Amino acid sequence: MNRQADVIIVGSGLAALQLAHHLHSTSHVIILTKTKIRQSNSYIAQGGIAAVIDKGDSIHSHVEDTLNAGRHHHFIEEVERLADEGAAAVKELIAGGLHIDRDADGQPSLGLEGAHSAKRIIHSGGDATGRHTVEHLLATLPENVEIIEGEMAYDCLLSEDRSLCIGVKTKSKEGVISYCWAPHVVIATGGAGAVYPATSNQPTMTGDGVAIAFRAGAEIADMEFVQFHPTLLFANGAAQGLISEAVRGAGAKLIDGSGSLLMEGVHPLKDLAPRHIAAYEIYKARTKGKEVFLDIRGMEHFEKQFPTITALCKRNGVSISDGLLPVAPGSHFLMGGISVDSNGCTTIPGLYAVGEAAHSGVHGANRLASNSLLEGIVYGRRLAAFINRRLPASQLPARVFYYDSQLPAESAGGFSKEELRNRTMKAAGIIRTPENLQSHVRYLEALGVREWIESGLDELEQEAIEKIYMSINSYLISRAALLRTESRGAHIRTDFMAEEVHWRGKRVIQTKDRINIRGGQHERNPIRIHA
């Protein structure tokens, strides 16, 4: 099947929908999702949107909090633009009809989350901000936007010399291949949380967008920085879902099985310390055989304030009335991803990335709480403005690149997703050792990951393609983690436990042909290919 559009958006989360909203109404926009439109990380996001809308707050403070949480490993001008444009973009959403939680006097009810120095977290429906925001955007989606569900985008369509992206190939669960042509292709697939055994992400978050772009030849940056959320509900022997940081912002405390305060003396912000610090403390306690709990016994009206978390606990047999919620860390957010410039352009003309799949430089080594939805809102709107200036586009090239060889249908049959997740966690989880990283890289190369990167996937079913994409993401994460010989933010090496000054601002860059280190402490975003 062949389809033609002006803009193709791969993914259906907040960044994708915000982008679609702001594209010209005269353009034909296709949103592709391999599952359902409401099955995104954005939809299940419990946290809110960080934005400076209170007179007592400041853009400068938001920027400083972002830099401190991310250990000053950012493109600073991008952080400044995020905070500044974010305030205006959120106000635009509210003016457009997004209902937010308000105090009795009608003012926005602003919450506090980890590493924030002020109450600036906007919520909608308590702990269901993602769902309410996505539903708002879906309800107001323009008629020029076509949504196609149940088709997995698995490769870029490239010009014969691979210099230009001109579309994507998709595959249905039944194995039907479709060609979707467009002069503007946007990756908005989210992160790669499902590469790990315990995650707050949807189980479908297998890093598809990063793998697609990487295979096409795009530059990938900082994949070693994987954020582990400190508090996933741990019940029935496994992580069951996220307990939002807003719970700690509202007064909950982390304690161990003996009742001792876990974060006392660890960080000045205690339970609201940056996520990598809290996750590390919980990890250390659990490796010593101690249980860790969120103590909510001092909180009033918990069930009303956090209905989604209450329902999660009840489904898993955890009593809210007892006031002790068992928790463990789990993979949450990918700070690295596809290198983009300020507009969302990748290093391949015609290919763009936005949201968690992109590395825009705003999150550094550890994302500040509730900056993720903000990023989607800001960069979705900004990329739309960039693409709008280039519509309509000229005719696409007639000659297309084809792989010399196709992987056979039985490729990736020698391992299970569960095995890969466990191996990835051991090698590139919360704590990394050089021995485990080296062993895992060798394991993936022995499986055939280098061949998978360079071969066609047309003969594979969706499940096999997902396994290959998970392997590619695991490979990118592990190689980058091996190269970065320091501990910074979410990247913790047992043999290099300190932050190193000479590593500050340096990025681990990977393409199909090479892996290298680029930049320095005062580097500005170097990608300016479409300016």
Which residues are known to be catalytic? 275
- Measured in degrees and rounded to the nearest 5, phi and psi for residue 80 equal -60, -40
Alpha-carbon dihedral angle through residues 428, 434, 437, 440, given to the nearest 10 degrees: -140
Longest dimension (CA), the chain: 69
Give the count of beta carbons closer than 10 Å to the beta carbon of residue 270. Answer: 17
Distance CA 100, CA 47 (A): 13
Phi then psi dihedrals of residue 511, to 5 deg: -130, 175
List all residues 6 or more positions away from 235 whose beta carbon is below 8 Å from its beta carbon.
313, 316, 317, 318, 326
Phi, psi (degrees; rounded to nearest 5) at 163:
-90, -10
Say which residues have a Cβ less than 8 Å from residue 398's Cβ, sequence separation at least 6. Answer: none
Is residue 479 within 8 Å of residue 515, measured between CB atoms? yes
From residue 74, alpha-carbon distances to 34, 64, 66, 340 in Å are 32, 11, 9, 13
How many other CB atoms are there within 10 angstroms of residue 236's CB atom? 10
Q: Enter the tokens of residue 404.
A: 């010399």
Do 120 and 113 touch, CB atoms closer than 8 A? Answer: no
CA distance 257 to 463: 40
